[in-house]
């Protein structure tokens, strides 16, 4: 009798979802050990990209890998995810967001294609005068894939 009652109690406890020992679990934090230590001055996180305050600082940056069909295809997929809402499916502008936002230009314009690669790369990171920064979650390969794709956009032929 006692043994089965004890067994029942043990099983009931195993199956109960509440953590009944709360004394060590919920305790007040605080104190100097709870504060994130500041990064040492001048340190750069591992794998971080170079920091720019302005697109002009990136003018001389070159793509670390050459363009290829695979890179352009990856760039196109990213463009479809992140850029078509403003720049349109082919990059010629007139994306649906343009109804509520400064319209995005045709990325085939000579004025845009005339910029060096580094400027286009930094435009995705920093945004433009109206364009928001768009690089969240993108790594270096993604960014240069986008640049390689941008280079394939021709100006829209006159109708
Ligand atoms: C919210 C709308 C919006 C999104 C999303 C957006 N753009 Fe733009 N983009 C603009 C606007 C508006 C301009 C023109 C004004 C400016 O420079 O900000 C522009 C300009 C540009 C330019 C030309 C910059 C220059 O100074 O000549 C490039 C290149 C560009 N976008 C690439 C991209 C790429 C690549 C993406 C996706 C990763 C993207 N944009 C996503 C709105 C957008």
Q: At 89, is the pLDDT very low, low, confident or very high (cuts 50, 70, 90)?
A: very high
Higher-confidence position of 140 and 157? 140
Angstrom distance (rounded) from CA 3 to CA 16:
20
- Nearest protein CA to atom 23 of ligand 1, as residue: 112
Average pLDDT over residues 108-127: 96
Six token digits for residue 19: 């953590």
Angstrom distance (rounded) from CA 87 to CA 95:
5
Which residues neighbour 67 within 8 Å (Cβ) at sequence distance 6 or greater?
A: 148, 151
CA of 73 to the centre of ligand 1 (A): 19
Average pLDDT over residues 66-81: 97
pLDDT digits 0-9 by tens, 3-49: 666 655 555 555 555 656 666 666 677 777 777 788 888 887 777 78
Angstrom distance (rounded) from CA 151 to CA 141:
15
Mutate to test the pocket of ligand 1, among 123, 127, 136, 151 (most ligand atoms within 8 A of CB): 123
Residues with CB under 6 A from ligand 1: 82-83, 85-87, 97, 101-102, 104-105, 107, 112, 115, 120, 123-124, 128-132, 134, 146, 150
CA distance to 7, 44, 107, 154, per residue, from 110 (Å): 80, 36, 8, 9
- Give, rounded to a whole angstrom, the gap between the first and last alpha carbons of the chain: 92
Q: At 110, is the pLDDT very low, low, confident or very high (cuts 50, 70, 90)?
A: very high
Q: At 2, is the pLDDT very low, low, confident or very high (cuts 50, 70, 90)?
A: low
- Nearest protein CA to atom 31 of ligand 1, as residue: 131
* pLDDT, the chain, mean: 86
Q: What is the pLDDT of residue 99?
A: 87
Q: Which atom of ligand 1 is nearest to the CA of 102?
A: 12
Six token digits for residue 48: 């971080």
Q: What is the pLDDT of residue 21?
A: 64
Q: What is the pLDDT of residue 36?
A: 79
Q: Which atom of ligand 1 is nearest to the CA of 103?
A: 12
């Amino acid at each position: 009798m006692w043994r089965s009652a004890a067994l029942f109690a043990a099983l009931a406890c195993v199956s109960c979802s509440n953590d009944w020992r709360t004394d060590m679990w919920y305790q007040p934090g605080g104190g100097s050990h709870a504060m994130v230590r500041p990064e040492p001055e001048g340190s750069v996180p591992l794998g971080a990209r170079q920091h720019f305050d302005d697109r002009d600082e990136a003018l001389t940056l070159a793509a670390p890998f050459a363009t290829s069909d695979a890179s352009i295809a990856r760039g196109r997929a990213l463009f479809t995810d992140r850029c078509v809402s403003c720049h349109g499916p082919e990059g010629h502008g007139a994306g649906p967001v343009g109804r509520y936002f400064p319209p995005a230009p045709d990325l085939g314009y000579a004025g845009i294609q005339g910029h060096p690669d580094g400027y286009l790369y930094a435009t995705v990171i920093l945004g433009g005068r109206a364009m928001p920064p768009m690089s969240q979650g993108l790594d270096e390969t993604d960014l240069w894939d986008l640049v390689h794709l941008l280079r394939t956009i021709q100006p829209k032929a006159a109708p």
